[in-house]
Amino acid sequence: MISRPTLRLPLSSALAALAAIAVLGTSLGGAAAQERRVPGSPAEVRLSYGPVVQKAAPAVVNVYAARTVTTRNPLFEDPFFRRFFGGPGMPGPNEQQQRSLGSGVLVDPAGLVVTNHHVIDGADQVKVSLADRREFEAEIVLKDARSDLAVLRLKGNGERFQALEFADSDALQVGDLVLAIGNPFAVGQTVTHGIISALARTQVGITDYQFFIQTDAAINPGNSGGALVDMTGKIVGINTAIFSRGGGSIGIGFAIPANMVRVVVASARGGSSTVKRPWHGARLQAVTPEIAESIGLKRPAGALVTDVMQGGPAARAGLRTGDLIVALDDQHIEDANAFDYRFATKAIGGTSRIRVQRSGREMVVTVALEVAPDLPRDEIVIETRSPFQGVKVSNLSPSLADQLRLDPNGEGVVVVDVANGSIGQRFFQPGDVLLTVNNQKMTRTSDLDKLSRQQTRLWRITIRRGGQQMSVELRG
């Protein structure tokens, strides 16, 4: 049975609302409107979100993801134990199945469902359960770790489903009423209500695009991927995370704005397995109080340009190192995260106007909205026994650098994935850039593939991780 809560205001609150109406009437119609009376029927005190829930709830679904994880006793990686116990009777890898539960929202009658990337990440099998308890197998159409969003397609044999429309999340105001719909703690579909507590939260640390709607509508584990809707039943955000000290809601929840979700869904509708976003080719940083004081700002605001890639859209537009970005297409830019979000939601093609402050003067530059150039990535998985075994690497291109938030001017071979339980998992992680191996510069994946086949007991490796360069020595 689907839970469809009816929310009612207490009688005291309803009477207060009626009293407020009476005061308004005084200004319009005289003293007679000041009369107070007991409500004549239950209908006069019943205020409900029921119509909104009835419209939105059928489009909110449960998402079940299953993934197979291979584990092996670490003792059997030791040569000593393999020597004595490495015969035919030696235990093999142990496979376990992990399951996760989240929520999702139907956004297209053809069966497209949007959910969080972290709900289905690594899943071998995905099932979706509708509000009417029907279950469907689903295929993953698109995964976008940068925004923590994914799009699924129900295998419904041409069936048409009830779907929700997107609202303009830029039109939201703090104080607007919203409903959160999902499946918290796997108890079944649940509706909570609250208000928009804050907009443009950029210091949350959840996704690459730090720009979230904050709400006090109760969001709990299992709500991830569910809908945050306005009073017209349209999607204003996808519930993603909570701030909590004990695992439950304390009234601080975060949702990805609908305008970002719309971009991801549009890519999936167009048949792409990745999200195509505009690329500007510049590195930005937040304005600290110290920087603001040094350049004469009354308060720290805007995005400071620290580097511009030669030949990129920003360079061609005339953007320079030291420019302070204060607006994008007449939308105020509070910090670098806000600019990244605003720019990422622009459609490919055409141009955008960036207002900057340069040497005390304000000026506008026009930047082209185009995708980052890509080069042949030549992705390979290193299979030979070495510190790199199980590591998947790719040539570094401006497109991949933008995707992984790496230096657009950087060089090297980048780690894009590491096999679970592999030797490489001990030393490397996705996003690591391999610069040199045994004093040989890494420019292409074939360089690493060739070196990994060498029989050597000592590996000297230089990598860049999180913007920091480090050198390590590993003995085989």
Residues marked active site are found at 118, 148, 224
Structure tokens at 103: 């929520």
Within a 10 A sphere around the Cβ of 219, how many other Cβ atoms? 29
Beta bridge partners, 253, equal 215, 242
Residue type, 107: V
What the block records as the tokens of 326 is 């204060």
Residue 75: phi and psi, rounded to 5, are -60, -35
Give the tokens for residue 445: 């994946």
Six token digits for residue 453: 């086949």
Query: Hey, what's the torsion of the CAs at 309, 311, 313, 315, to 10 degrees?
Result: 60
Distances (CA, A) of 338 to 135, 319, 331, 345, 435: 39, 18, 10, 11, 32
Helix (H, G, I), strand (E, B) or coil at 374: coil
DSSP 254: E
- Give me the sign of the Cα torsion angle 394, 399, 400, 401: positive
Q: Minimal CA–CA distance to 178: which of 125, 222, 116, 235?
A: 235
Question: By CB neighbour count within 10 A (0-12 exposed, 13-18 middle, 19+ buried), where does 36 fall?
Answer: exposed
